[in-house]
Amino acid sequence: MQTFTTVAAMQNWCLEQKRQGKTIGLVPTMGYLHQGHMALVREARASCDIVVVSIFVNPIQFGIGEDYEDYPRDLGKDSLLLEQGQADAIFAPSVKEMYPPRYNSFVEVIGEMSEKLCAQSRPGHFRGVTTVVSKLFHICLPDIAFFGQKDAQQAMIIEKMVQELNFPLRIERVPIVREADGLALSSRNVYLSAEHRTQAPVLQQSLQAARELIQSGERDATRVKELIVQTINSSPDADIVYAEIYDAGTLADVQEISGRVLIALAVKFGTTRLIDNLIVEV
Amino acid sequence: MQTFTTVAAMQNWCLEQKRQGKTIGLVPTMGYLHQGHMALVREARASCDIVVVSIFVNPIQFGIGEDYEDYPRDLGKDSLLLEQGQADAIFAPSVKEMYPPRYNSFVEVIGEMSEKLCAQSRPGHFRGVTTVVSKLFHICLPDIAFFGQKDAQQAMIIEKMVQELNFPLRIERVPIVREADGLALSSRNVYLSAEHRTQAPVLQQSLQAARELIQSGERDATRVKELIVQTINSSPDADIVYAEIYDAGTLADVQEISGRVLIALAVKFGTTRLIDNLIVEV
């Protein structure tokens, strides 16, 4: 496994792989890898000749007062995990390498999909994501790029960007990986206190309760959301950022549940913000 | 020579060329081709295995009240010219093919370079250009893309975009092609009345006068601009939109001329807007 830290070296290596007729799978990450990331790596390993994993904590997707400085980093441990996971290359550039002085180029998906859920509480976040992902696509030239379903809105926006800007690749979404008690894996879980950690599975519990309610015949999105809020609020320290139900393809508003809907949550425990989601089809 | 009208067909064809190890040269145009475009095609023909010419009048780079509807079009004549010029493929998509309903993805270069000259009188213009050019790069996968120096600011912005978003290609700028009397070739020249056509070479005359003044030792940009304005205003129907001198690499303001400067003009004759420019190095 090779590690690249410059754009030129990574891009030249990927161009050479393409010249040799190899397919490239890209797993973009912010590092501090967990088994959710490794599920993406396994999918990439299974379907592509070459697996490239990028590790870059992308400053322009963090807002003022967010956890950019504190975001956990451990390139040594990540490298060991990726070696075991049989990745072929790591791309771990510096911030200066990705955003040189006077950097001014941005990629943006505007409209409904980019104005709801996390966009409400994290203005500019998705522009930062679409910009860095565009750069990574140009540098690493993937045939397939792998994203986790945990960041459902991110995956939707990136899929829309790929389709509309005609990137020559496809996106594969990989299901959420969970702890035994149901908590969705996240690099941010390390921030949780012991007490908050015991409460955090309430996110998934509320999603399951919502699914059961829908499966029992409830079609009123408001009533389902009420159950979610009630369930989460049974945890003393849970502070709901949002609990919404939207069309799973477009994020359009949903009053009466039909087709595929995305139930999406963001909940804070102290300063730690967790997200989770579930797609339900009726 | 083949003509493609869908993104999928064009992209698949280009992917196949790449798989065969061929280099691709892309000449993005809005059609109604003249010898300025054909100079780009010749450059592409000389340096790439495959030459793709896109012909697309891009609605999102036109402002309200601009000449999008009236922009001259003649795909039949363009095809004949490109056949003679030994292009390999034309990409001529419909607007709906490039911008399907609910299209929402955009690429933008912000900052000084995108706020001056044509950006002043054409808000949103360059966002439309960088977006369509990004799409064309993803569809046609060029190793080299060819742009005319006549649209100097456009070329600068696209070069910055390519560098900052790490597109795996390079831009080649091709010098301005002129009529015998010095008028820069442009598809919009057909709009000129006979009287305006006789006056239009004043743009280049003013640039040449400016160059001579600089070469004679003048370094004060204000004085050079005064001479340009005076020269253009000697034409009774010329209406100056801008006449500016900026750093040729960054479009930073220039008071005292040094290094490479871009002298850039936009002048209206009636409703027809012409641009021209010259780079002077001292």
The pLDDT tens digits for B166-207 are 999 999 999 999 999 999 999 999 999 999 999 999 999 999
Q: How far is CA B123 from the centre of its chain?
A: 16
Range of the domain at A226: 187-277
pLDDT tier, A121 (very low <50, low <70, confident <90, very high otherwise): confident
B182 occurs within a structural domain: no
Residues A59 and A193 in one domain: no
A181 occurs within a structural domain: no
* Closest C-alpha to B237, from B276, B269, B260: B269
Contacts of A152 (CB under 8 A, 6+ apart): A262, A264, A277, A279
Residues A220 and A163 in one domain: no
Residues A49 and A108 in one domain: yes
Name which of A11, A130, A168 is nearest B141 (Cβ-Cβ): A168
How close, in Å, is residue B156 to chain A by CA atoms?
A: 13
pLDDT, averaged across chain B: 97
Chains A, B: CB contacts within 8 A come to 87
Q: In A, which residues are within 8 Å of B108 by CB distance?
A: 105-108
Q: Pick the residue from chain A with its C-alpha nearest to B164.
A: A105
The size of chain A, in residues, is: 282
In the three-class reduction of DSSP (H, G, I as helix; E, B as strand; rest coil), residue B140 is classed as helix
Q: What angle do CA A147, A152, A155 make, to 5 degrees?
A: 45
* Closest C-alpha to B265, from B257, B254, B277: B277
**Tokens describing residue A13:** 């290596």
Residues B138 and B161 in one domain: yes
pLDDT at B189: 96
Residues A40 and A162 in one domain: yes
**Which residue among B174, B204, B225 closes a domain?**
B174
A180 occurs within a structural domain: no
Say how many domains are in chain A: 2
Q: Pick the residue from chain A with its C-alpha nearest to B11.
A: A168
Residues A242 and A134 in one domain: no
Instruction: Supply the Cα-derived Rg of chain B in whole angstroms.
Output: 19
Residues B163 and B223 in one domain: no
Name which of B138, B160, B166 is nearest A7 (Cβ-Cβ): B166
A140 vs B118: CA distance, rounded Å: 34
pLDDT digits (tens, 9 = 90+) for A14-60: 999 999 999 999 999 999 999 999 999 999 999 999 999 999 999 99
Q: In A, which residues are within 8 Å of B139 by CB distance?
A: 166, 168
Residues B51 and B103 in one domain: yes
DSSP run (H or E) holding B241? strand B238-247
pLDDT digits (tens, 9 = 90+) for A195-239: 999 999 999 999 999 999 999 999 999 999 999 999 999 999 999
Q: The tokens 């120096």 sit on which residue?
A: B149
Residue B121 has pLDDT above 90, yes or no: no
B201 occurs within a structural domain: yes
Name which of B21, B108, B167 is nearest A106 (Cβ-Cβ): B108
Instruction: For residue B12, give Cα distances in angstroms to A26, B19, B133, B134.
Output: 21, 10, 18, 17
Q: Pick the residue from chain B with its C-alpha nearest to A13.
A: B168
The catalytic residues of B are 37
**Which residue among A118, A142, A174 closes a domain?**
A174
pLDDT, averaged across chain A: 97
Residues A223 and A252 in one domain: yes
What CATH number should be reported for the domain holding residue A120?
3.40.50.620
Instruction: Supply the Cα-derived Rg of chain A in whole angstroms.
Output: 19
pLDDT digits (tens, 9 = 90+) for B23-65: 999 999 999 999 999 999 999 999 999 999 999 999 999 999 8
A282 occurs within a structural domain: no
Q: How far is CA B241 from the centre of its chain?
A: 17
pLDDT digits (tens, 9 = 90+) for B144-156: 999 999 999 999 9
Residues B158 and B197 in one domain: no
B114 occurs within a structural domain: yes
Q: Residue A254 in contact with residue A267, Cβ under 8 Å?
A: no
Q: How far is CA B210 from the centre of its chain?
A: 22
B117 vs B120: CA distance, rounded Å: 6
Q: Is B160 close to A19, i.e. CB distance below 8 A?
A: no
pLDDT tier, A97 (very low <50, low <70, confident <90, very high otherwise): very high
In the three-class reduction of DSSP (H, G, I as helix; E, B as strand; rest coil), residue B240 is classed as strand
Residues B158 and B267 in one domain: no
Give mean pLDDT, residues A71-85: 97
Q: Pick the residue from chain B with its C-alpha nearest to A110.
A: B104
B33 occurs within a structural domain: yes
Q: Is B138 close to A11, i.e. CB distance below 8 A?
A: no
For the beta sheet containing A24-29, the strands, ordered from the edge strand earlier in sequence to the opposite edge, are A2-4, A89-91, A50-55, A24-29, A144-148, A170-174
How close, in Å, is residue B204 to chain A by CA atoms?
A: 32
pLDDT digits (tens, 9 = 90+) for B236-251: 999 999 999 999 999 9
pLDDT at A204: 98
* Closest C-alpha to B149, from B140, B138, B158, B137: B158
What CATH number should be reported for the domain holding residue A257?
3.30.1300.10
Name which of A106, A134, A165 is nearest B110 (Cβ-Cβ): A106
pLDDT digits (tens, 9 = 90+) for B250-275: 999 999 999 999 999 999 999 999 99
**Which residue among B145, B174, B203 closes a domain?**
B174
Give mean pLDDT, residues A153-173: 98
A179 occurs within a structural domain: no
Contacts of B164 (CB under 8 A, 6+ apart): A100, A103, A104, A105, B109
Residues A114 and A15 in one domain: yes
pLDDT at A61: 96
Q: Complex ipTM, two decimals?
A: 0.96
